[in-house]
Amino acid sequence: MRVVHVHRLRGIGGSERHLLTLLPALRARGIDARFVGLDDGEPEPFYEQLDALEVPYDRLRAPRDLDPALLVRLARLVQARRPDIVHTHLVHADVYGALASLASRATLVSTKHNDDPFRRGSFRHVERLFARRAARIVCITAALARFNVHEVGLPEAKLVVVHYGLDTLPAAWGPPGGPDLPEDVPLLLAVSRLEPQKGLDVAVEALARVRETQPTAVLLILGAGSLQQELLELAAARDLTDAVVLAGHTGDVAHWLERADVFVHPARWEGFGLVLLEAMLAQLPVVASNVSSIPEIVADGETGLLVPPDDVERLAAAITALLEDPARRAAYGSAALERARQRFSVERMTAHTIAVYKEALAG
């Protein structure tokens, strides 16, 4: 079976990291899976990782969101590769890939990775149109499947849930970076883009409450984004300049996952949250928002604690409760590792994906 995955690249986020796990796993199971990247023509570390994983790929320059010439080039490339299935990821690839697959008469499969609010707007009509072409539409969580049916209006009969899978912590590509902390300092860890969706402003506000009983607690945030200066100013306004550390992209995330006491993820919405699986594999208890897909990943009261989004007081109380109870943290961490291994393994994800392909071709 030949499968071409199409994705618009702008760095490495959750969907890209998912593909870096899925593509080699499919190839190990005998699927001729390859990748087509639509990118700006700049150096992309994603391709370096594909090289290391020995996953074949093609690059098409895509400097503009709307580009008829790109459609022609993609259609020719897909025809040349002669896939049985074209598998698209996110909106740009959905549009270009759906049209390009017509030229080769390949079966179309699309994966929906997020419940971004813009998908409720006028673009939903475009998604509905291209959903007619898809044989199957993969949703990475049941919550996302409900969103696609009720908010976007996609046909429920075509939707299937396949969770992300992960078996190991991210490999180090450099030194850990970040602060030099004594072992007895309570460490809260957040790993995400610095964008409004992720609710990191709520985490900073919560830290001020946490430090009323845990005066040495530190919040370490790994990631980059548009809110960096705003978060620094908020920390300064709450007298947390030394307690909130924005370390950017560090070379060894696993080091901090294993060092932290509590993982904090106060997202306002979330397609999946691959970092939650990483925290679980590191046996790290999670405090997160009870929104979107997160309750499918984090078992409230078993592997972590879930609180309402934008609720500073509840977030602070949950973090404090875990910091004050090491035995509870350890129990949650052990349960988290077991849940990750049983429900979110790479083998499970790969087998379900192959089953989707077979169903799509049979249909």
In a domain, 112, yes or no: yes
Q: How far, in Å, CA of 188 to CA of 214, rounded?
A: 11
Pair (78, 36) in one structural domain = yes
pLDDT of residue 14: 86
Q: How far, in Å, CA of 15 to CA of 190, rounded?
A: 19
Pair (329, 198) in one structural domain = yes
- CATH number of 119's domain: 3.40.50.2000
Pair (161, 17) in one structural domain = yes
Pair (144, 232) in one structural domain = no
In a domain, 175, yes or no: no
In a domain, 170, yes or no: no
Predicted TM-score (pTM) of the model is: 0.90
Pair (118, 193) in one structural domain = no
Pair (132, 271) in one structural domain = no
Pair (102, 219) in one structural domain = no
Domain extent, residue 291, equals: 187-343
Pair (52, 77) in one structural domain = yes
pLDDT in single tens digits along all 363 residues of the chain: 999 999 999 878 889 999 999 999 999 999 999 999 999 888 888 999 999 999 999 999 988 878 889 999 999 999 999 999 999 999 889 999 998 988 788 999 999 998 888 788 888 888 898 889 999 999 999 999 999 999 999 999 999 999 999 999 988 888 888 898 999 999 999 999 999 999 999 999 999 999 999 999 999 999 999 999 999 999 999 999 999 999 998 889 999 999 999 999 999 999 898 999 999 999 999 999 999 999 999 999 999 999 999 999 999 999 999 999 999 999 999 999 999 999 999 999 999 999 999 999 998
Pair (48, 88) in one structural domain = yes
In a domain, 179, yes or no: no
Pair (109, 212) in one structural domain = no
Whether the CB-CB separation of 161 and 184 falls below 8 Å is answered with no
Domain count, the chain: 2
Q: How far, in Å, CA of 38 to CA of 6, rounded?
A: 8
Pair (158, 247) in one structural domain = no
- Using alpha carbons, select from 187, 140, 143, 189 the residue that is nearest to residue 160: 140
In a domain, 181, yes or no: no
Q: How far, in Å, CA of 345 to CA of 340, rounded?
A: 7
Per residue, what are the HEC states of 332-346?
HHHHHHHHHHHHCCH
In a domain, 178, yes or no: no
Pair (134, 195) in one structural domain = no
Structure token digits, residue 176? 């850990």
